[in-house]
Each structure stands twice: as C-alpha cells, then as structure tokens.
Amino acid sequence: MAYQIGSGCVSCGACADVCPVGAISQGDDHYVIDANSCLDCGTCSDTCPNGAISPAE
C-alpha cells in the first residue's frame, strides 16, 4: 500500500528530501507520491510537519 499526500501539504519539500527512492515530486497543487515507486516505508509520513501524508486506502 503506497502513501498519499493530502490537502494539508504546504509544498515544503521535507518529504521529497527524505524519500529513499525519489518517489515524491512537486505536483500542480502540492507534492505527489508515485504509488508504483513507493516502498511503503513511511519515512515521508514521519517527516511531514503538517501530518499531510497517510497510507493510501
């Protein structure tokens, strides 16, 4: 199960900086996670200062 970034994202880039596989990139409105590349490690979720990242359902 990949992670997803919600509307609470303020595009600070903290998550992209810590992603071990580079699965996070800047999208149109906020950062997005490539579900096919995501390792489900949760590092991005632990790093997000706004709690905007959660497991995808």
Transcribe the chain into DSSP letters: --EEE-TT-----HHHHH-TT--EEE-SSSEEE-TTT-----HHHHH-TT--EEE--
More confident residue, 57 or 11: 11
Separation CA 49–CA 37 (nearest Å): 22
Number of domains into which the chain is organized: 1
CATH number at residue 11: 3.30.70.20
The confidence score (pLDDT) of residue 57 equals 81
Residue 44 has pLDDT above 90, yes or no: yes
Sort 38 into a burial class: Cβ within 10 Å, 0-12 / 13-18 / 19+.
buried
Q: Region 3-20: what's the mean pLDDT? A: 97
* Residue numbers of the domain that contains 12: 3-55
